[in-house]
Amino acid sequence: MTRNVSRYLLLDGAQIENLPGRLCRLDDNPIAEWLYHRTPYRAAFDVGPVLVALRPHSALERAFTDEWQHDAGLLIESTAALQPLSEHLRSLVHARVSGDASMLFRYYDPRIMRHWLAALSPAEKDYMLGPVSRVRMPARDGQSEHWIVREQDRQSAQAFSTRPWLYLGEPQLQALNQARLEIVDQQVMAHVRRYFPKSFSPCSSAEQQQWAALCREGAARYGYCAPNEVARWSALVAEHGSTFPHAHDHQAYRQILQQPTLNPTQRLDALLLELCRGWLLTKTESFA
Protein backbone atom coordinates (compact mmCIF):
# COMPACT_ATOMS: atom_id res chain seq x y z
CA MET A 1 0.00 0.00 0.00
CA THR A 2 1.33 3.47 -0.90
CA ARG A 3 1.83 5.73 2.09
CA ASN A 4 0.33 9.19 2.07
CA VAL A 5 2.80 11.82 0.94
CA SER A 6 2.78 15.14 2.79
CA ARG A 7 4.20 18.40 1.51
CA TYR A 8 6.24 20.83 3.59
CA LEU A 9 8.06 24.10 3.19
CA LEU A 10 11.52 24.42 4.69
CA LEU A 11 11.94 28.19 4.97
CA ASP A 12 15.00 30.33 5.70
CA GLY A 13 14.47 32.89 8.45
CA ALA A 14 17.70 34.65 7.51
CA GLN A 15 16.29 35.47 4.06
CA ILE A 16 12.67 36.24 5.01
CA GLU A 17 12.24 39.28 7.23
CA ASN A 18 10.14 38.62 10.36
CA LEU A 19 9.37 35.07 9.32
CA PRO A 20 7.42 34.20 12.53
CA GLY A 21 5.08 37.13 11.90
CA ARG A 22 4.75 36.34 8.20
CA LEU A 23 3.79 32.76 8.97
CA CYS A 24 1.05 33.81 11.36
CA ARG A 25 -0.38 36.24 8.82
CA LEU A 26 -0.33 33.67 6.01
CA ASP A 27 -1.63 30.72 8.03
CA ASP A 28 -4.09 31.06 10.94
CA ASN A 29 -2.67 28.01 12.74
CA PRO A 30 0.66 26.97 11.19
CA ILE A 31 2.01 23.52 12.01
CA ALA A 32 5.67 24.37 12.27
CA GLU A 33 8.95 23.14 13.75
CA TRP A 34 11.72 25.71 14.24
CA LEU A 35 14.86 23.68 13.65
CA TYR A 36 17.14 25.74 15.90
CA HIS A 37 14.94 24.86 18.88
CA ARG A 38 16.56 22.30 21.18
CA THR A 39 20.00 23.15 19.81
CA PRO A 40 22.78 25.51 20.95
CA TYR A 41 21.49 27.95 18.30
CA ARG A 42 17.99 28.31 19.82
CA ALA A 43 18.47 32.01 20.67
CA ALA A 44 18.61 32.70 16.90
CA PHE A 45 15.65 30.47 16.03
CA ASP A 46 13.83 33.20 14.09
CA VAL A 47 16.69 33.61 11.59
CA GLY A 48 17.16 29.86 11.25
CA PRO A 49 15.15 27.30 9.27
CA VAL A 50 11.54 26.33 9.97
CA LEU A 51 9.65 23.30 8.68
CA VAL A 52 6.00 24.10 7.94
CA ALA A 53 3.22 21.72 6.90
CA LEU A 54 1.87 23.00 3.60
CA ARG A 55 -1.85 23.27 2.97
CA PRO A 56 -2.60 23.19 -0.78
CA HIS A 57 -3.70 26.41 -2.49
CA SER A 58 -2.99 28.41 0.66
CA ALA A 59 -1.71 31.97 1.02
CA LEU A 60 1.54 30.48 2.34
CA GLU A 61 1.99 28.42 -0.83
CA ARG A 62 1.39 31.52 -2.98
CA ALA A 63 3.94 33.53 -1.00
CA PHE A 64 6.50 30.77 -1.41
CA THR A 65 5.92 30.52 -5.15
CA ASP A 66 5.91 34.28 -5.73
CA GLU A 67 8.65 35.40 -3.34
CA TRP A 68 10.78 32.70 -1.74
CA GLN A 69 11.28 29.61 -3.86
CA HIS A 70 14.47 30.73 -5.60
CA ASP A 71 16.57 31.75 -2.60
CA ALA A 72 14.70 31.37 0.71
CA GLY A 73 13.51 27.82 1.11
CA LEU A 74 12.60 24.42 -0.28
CA LEU A 75 9.46 22.48 -1.09
CA ILE A 76 9.87 18.91 0.16
CA GLU A 77 7.73 15.76 0.24
CA SER A 78 7.82 12.93 2.76
CA THR A 79 5.78 9.98 3.97
CA ALA A 80 7.26 10.38 7.46
CA ALA A 81 5.51 11.96 10.41
CA LEU A 82 6.41 15.56 11.24
CA GLN A 83 8.51 14.72 14.30
CA PRO A 84 11.07 12.31 12.78
CA LEU A 85 11.22 14.44 9.64
CA SER A 86 11.95 17.63 11.57
CA GLU A 87 14.49 15.84 13.77
CA HIS A 88 16.42 14.64 10.73
CA LEU A 89 16.37 18.09 9.14
CA ARG A 90 17.45 19.61 12.47
CA SER A 91 20.46 17.28 12.52
CA LEU A 92 21.72 18.83 9.29
CA VAL A 93 21.84 22.46 10.46
CA HIS A 94 25.55 22.14 11.22
CA ALA A 95 28.41 20.08 9.87
CA ARG A 96 32.00 19.13 10.62
CA VAL A 97 34.84 20.13 8.32
CA SER A 98 38.57 19.41 8.23
CA GLY A 99 40.25 19.75 11.63
CA ASP A 100 37.04 18.70 13.39
CA ALA A 101 35.74 22.29 13.30
CA SER A 102 31.99 22.89 13.04
CA MET A 103 30.04 25.28 10.83
CA LEU A 104 26.39 26.16 10.37
CA PHE A 105 25.10 24.63 7.15
CA ARG A 106 22.38 26.45 5.19
CA TYR A 107 21.42 23.45 3.06
CA TYR A 108 17.82 24.75 2.89
CA ASP A 109 18.89 27.50 0.48
CA PRO A 110 18.08 25.98 -2.95
CA ARG A 111 21.23 27.54 -4.41
CA ILE A 112 23.26 25.52 -1.91
CA MET A 113 21.13 22.37 -2.00
CA ARG A 114 21.60 21.85 -5.74
CA HIS A 115 25.39 21.99 -5.39
CA TRP A 116 25.60 19.93 -2.21
CA LEU A 117 23.58 16.91 -3.31
CA ALA A 118 24.93 17.01 -6.86
CA ALA A 119 28.40 16.22 -5.49
CA LEU A 120 27.22 13.03 -3.74
CA SER A 121 26.88 9.45 -4.94
CA PRO A 122 23.30 8.06 -5.14
CA ALA A 123 23.80 6.11 -1.89
CA GLU A 124 25.19 9.16 -0.08
CA LYS A 125 22.36 11.32 -1.42
CA ASP A 126 19.74 8.86 -0.16
CA TYR A 127 21.40 8.74 3.26
CA MET A 128 21.42 12.54 3.54
CA LEU A 129 17.77 12.78 2.49
CA GLY A 130 16.76 10.25 5.15
CA PRO A 131 12.96 10.37 5.46
CA VAL A 132 12.67 13.07 2.75
CA SER A 133 11.16 11.52 -0.39
CA ARG A 134 12.08 14.32 -2.75
CA VAL A 135 13.02 18.02 -2.92
CA ARG A 136 11.96 20.45 -5.64
CA MET A 137 14.57 22.61 -7.30
CA PRO A 138 13.06 25.75 -8.90
CA ALA A 139 13.62 26.70 -12.52
CA ARG A 140 16.76 28.75 -13.19
CA ASP A 141 18.82 30.03 -16.13
CA GLY A 142 16.33 28.80 -18.71
CA GLN A 143 16.11 25.31 -17.18
CA SER A 144 12.77 23.94 -15.99
CA GLU A 145 12.21 22.92 -12.39
CA HIS A 146 13.22 19.42 -11.34
CA TRP A 147 13.11 17.16 -8.30
CA ILE A 148 15.95 15.60 -6.32
CA VAL A 149 14.53 12.16 -5.55
CA ARG A 150 15.52 9.56 -2.94
CA GLU A 151 15.98 6.37 -4.94
CA GLN A 152 15.89 3.77 -2.16
CA ASP A 153 13.26 3.11 0.49
CA ARG A 154 12.91 5.65 3.28
CA GLN A 155 16.15 5.96 5.23
CA SER A 156 16.46 6.26 8.99
CA ALA A 157 16.13 9.73 10.46
CA GLN A 158 19.27 11.06 12.13
CA ALA A 159 19.18 12.79 15.51
CA PHE A 160 20.68 16.18 16.31
CA SER A 161 23.94 16.06 18.23
CA THR A 162 26.13 18.89 19.49
CA ARG A 163 28.92 17.18 17.56
CA PRO A 164 27.62 17.08 13.98
CA TRP A 165 27.34 13.70 12.33
CA LEU A 166 27.48 15.32 8.89
CA TYR A 167 31.00 15.77 7.53
CA LEU A 168 31.77 17.99 4.54
CA GLY A 169 34.93 16.96 2.75
CA GLU A 170 37.04 19.05 0.40
CA PRO A 171 35.09 18.20 -2.80
CA GLN A 172 31.82 19.18 -1.10
CA LEU A 173 33.33 22.39 0.26
CA GLN A 174 34.52 23.29 -3.24
CA ALA A 175 31.00 22.71 -4.58
CA LEU A 176 29.54 24.84 -1.77
CA ASN A 177 32.05 27.58 -2.49
CA GLN A 178 30.79 27.64 -6.06
CA ALA A 179 27.27 28.03 -4.67
CA ARG A 180 28.46 30.92 -2.50
CA LEU A 181 29.99 32.65 -5.51
CA GLU A 182 26.77 32.23 -7.48
CA ILE A 183 24.80 33.76 -4.60
CA VAL A 184 27.14 36.78 -4.55
CA ASP A 185 26.76 37.14 -8.33
CA GLN A 186 22.96 37.03 -8.07
CA GLN A 187 23.00 39.73 -5.40
CA VAL A 188 25.29 41.88 -7.56
CA MET A 189 23.01 41.44 -10.58
CA ALA A 190 19.96 42.42 -8.54
CA HIS A 191 21.82 45.50 -7.24
CA VAL A 192 22.91 46.58 -10.73
CA ARG A 193 19.47 46.00 -12.26
CA ARG A 194 17.99 48.26 -9.60
CA TYR A 195 20.52 51.10 -9.48
CA PHE A 196 22.47 50.91 -12.76
CA PRO A 197 20.10 49.30 -15.28
CA LYS A 198 21.91 50.82 -18.28
CA SER A 199 24.88 48.57 -17.52
CA PHE A 200 22.75 45.55 -18.42
CA SER A 201 21.07 47.00 -21.50
CA PRO A 202 20.97 45.20 -23.84
CA CYS A 203 22.55 42.10 -22.21
CA SER A 204 21.37 38.51 -22.17
CA SER A 205 21.06 36.61 -18.90
CA ALA A 206 24.36 34.85 -19.61
CA GLU A 207 26.09 38.17 -20.32
CA GLN A 208 24.76 39.64 -17.08
CA GLN A 209 26.09 36.66 -15.16
CA GLN A 210 29.48 37.04 -16.83
CA TRP A 211 29.50 40.77 -15.96
CA ALA A 212 28.74 39.99 -12.31
CA ALA A 213 31.40 37.27 -12.12
CA LEU A 214 34.07 39.57 -13.60
CA CYS A 215 33.01 42.33 -11.20
CA ARG A 216 33.29 39.93 -8.24
CA GLU A 217 36.70 38.71 -9.37
CA GLY A 218 37.93 42.27 -9.80
CA ALA A 219 36.74 43.21 -6.32
CA ALA A 220 38.42 40.12 -4.84
CA ARG A 221 41.80 41.21 -6.21
CA TYR A 222 41.60 44.16 -3.83
CA GLY A 223 40.32 42.12 -0.88
CA TYR A 224 36.59 42.74 -1.31
CA CYS A 225 34.74 39.42 -1.14
CA ALA A 226 31.69 39.99 1.10
CA PRO A 227 28.42 40.46 -0.84
CA ASN A 228 27.90 44.03 0.38
CA GLU A 229 31.47 44.96 -0.58
CA VAL A 230 31.11 43.49 -4.07
CA ALA A 231 27.78 45.30 -4.49
CA ARG A 232 29.44 48.60 -3.62
CA TRP A 233 32.33 47.83 -5.97
CA SER A 234 29.81 47.15 -8.75
CA ALA A 235 28.87 50.86 -8.76
CA LEU A 236 32.43 51.66 -9.81
CA VAL A 237 32.43 49.04 -12.57
CA ALA A 238 28.98 50.16 -13.75
CA GLU A 239 30.24 53.71 -14.13
CA HIS A 240 33.74 53.07 -15.49
CA GLY A 241 33.45 49.74 -17.28
CA SER A 242 35.14 46.36 -16.99
CA THR A 243 38.64 47.89 -17.21
CA PHE A 244 38.22 49.54 -13.80
CA PRO A 245 40.57 50.52 -12.16
CA HIS A 246 43.25 50.02 -14.84
CA ALA A 247 42.35 52.55 -17.53
CA HIS A 248 44.39 55.74 -17.94
CA ASP A 249 41.66 57.97 -16.47
CA HIS A 250 41.34 55.81 -13.33
CA GLN A 251 44.53 57.19 -11.80
CA ALA A 252 42.72 58.86 -8.88
CA TYR A 253 41.13 55.53 -7.96
CA ARG A 254 44.43 53.66 -8.15
CA GLN A 255 45.99 56.20 -5.80
CA ILE A 256 43.23 55.52 -3.27
CA LEU A 257 43.69 51.76 -3.59
CA GLN A 258 47.41 52.17 -2.94
CA GLN A 259 46.93 54.45 0.08
CA PRO A 260 48.62 52.58 2.99
CA THR A 261 47.05 54.69 5.76
CA LEU A 262 43.51 53.52 4.88
CA ASN A 263 41.99 50.19 5.83
CA PRO A 264 39.96 48.29 3.17
CA THR A 265 36.63 49.74 4.29
CA GLN A 266 38.02 53.27 4.28
CA ARG A 267 39.46 52.72 0.80
CA LEU A 268 36.10 51.57 -0.52
CA ASP A 269 34.39 54.58 1.08
CA ALA A 270 36.98 56.86 -0.53
CA LEU A 271 36.51 55.21 -3.93
CA LEU A 272 32.78 55.84 -3.80
CA LEU A 273 33.32 59.42 -2.69
CA GLU A 274 35.58 59.91 -5.70
CA LEU A 275 32.84 58.42 -7.88
CA CYS A 276 30.31 60.90 -6.46
CA ARG A 277 32.79 63.75 -6.98
CA GLY A 278 33.06 62.76 -10.64
CA TRP A 279 29.27 62.73 -11.01
CA LEU A 280 29.02 66.20 -9.46
CA LEU A 281 31.72 67.58 -11.74
CA THR A 282 29.94 66.14 -14.77
CA LYS A 283 26.63 67.71 -13.74
CA THR A 284 28.31 71.06 -13.01
CA GLU A 285 29.96 71.09 -16.42
CA SER A 286 26.65 70.24 -18.13
CA PHE A 287 25.05 73.34 -16.57
CA ALA A 288 27.99 75.61 -17.42
Do 19 and 116 share a structural domain? yes
| CB neighbour burial string for 199-216, b if at least 16 within 10 angstroms, e if fewer | bbeeeeeeebbebbbebb
In a domain, 175, yes or no: no
pTM of the full structure: 0.76
Non-local (6+) Cβ contacts of 263 within 8 A are: none
Question: Is 178 a member of any domain?
Answer: no
pLDDT at res. 283 = 58
Inside any domain, residue 101: yes
Please tell me whether residues 138 and 226 are part of one structural domain: no
pLDDT of residue 117: 87
Give the separation between CA 183 and CA 203, rounded to whole angstroms. 20
Are 110 and 198 within one domain? Answer: no
What integer pLDDT is reported at residue 156 of this predicted model?
85
Query: How many structural domains compose the chain?
Result: 2
Over the chain (288 residues), the average pLDDT of each successive run of 10 is 82 94 90 95 94 94 94 95 94 92 94 87 93 92 84 88 93 86 89 91 87 93 91 94 92 93 94 88 56
One domain, residues 36 and 127: yes
- Examine the domain organization and report whether 196 and 80 are in the same domain: no
Of 112, 137, 168, which residue is a domain's last?
168
The answer to whether residues 97 and 41 belong to one domain is yes
Q: What is the pLDDT of residue 1?
A: 37
Contact yes or no for 151/126 (Cβ under 8 A): yes
What pLDDT was estimated at residue 285?
52
pLDDT per residue as tens digits for the range 247-287? 999 999 999 999 999 999 999 999 999 999 877 776 555 54
Domain boundary among 168, 202, 218: 168
Assess whether 149 and 46 both reside in one domain: yes
**In 3-state terms, what secondary structure has residue 142?**
coil
Q: Is residue 248 part of a domain?
A: yes
* DSSP character string of 68-129: ITTTSEEEEEESS-HHHHHHHHHHTSEEEEGGGEEEE--TTSHHHHHHHHHTS-HHHHHHHH
The answer to whether residue 102 sits within a structural domain is yes
Minimal CA–CA distance to 32: which of 15, 8, 1, 12? 8
173, part of any domain = no
- Residue 282's pLDDT is 65
Do 13 and 154 lie in one domain? The reply is yes
Q: Cβ(287)–Cβ(279) under 8 Å?
A: no
Taking the C-alpha atoms of residue 269 and residue 263, their distance in angstroms, rounded to an integer, is 10
In terms of domains, do 10 and 145 share one?
yes
46 shares its domain with 161: yes
- How far is it, in rounded angstroms, from Cα 230 to Cα 216? 6
The answer to whether residue 181 is domain-embedded is: no
- Domain-embedded: residue 1: no
Shared-domain flag, residues 139 and 219: no
- Say if residue 103 is in the same domain as residue 201: no
Whole domain around residue 131: which residue ranges?
Answer: 6-168
What is the CA angle 34-13-167, rounded to 5? 70
Q: What does the angle CA 228 – CA 230 – CA 231 come to, to the nearest 5 degrees? A: 60
The three-state secondary structure class of 134 is strand
| List of residues 6+ apart from 20 with CB closer than 8 A | 13, 46
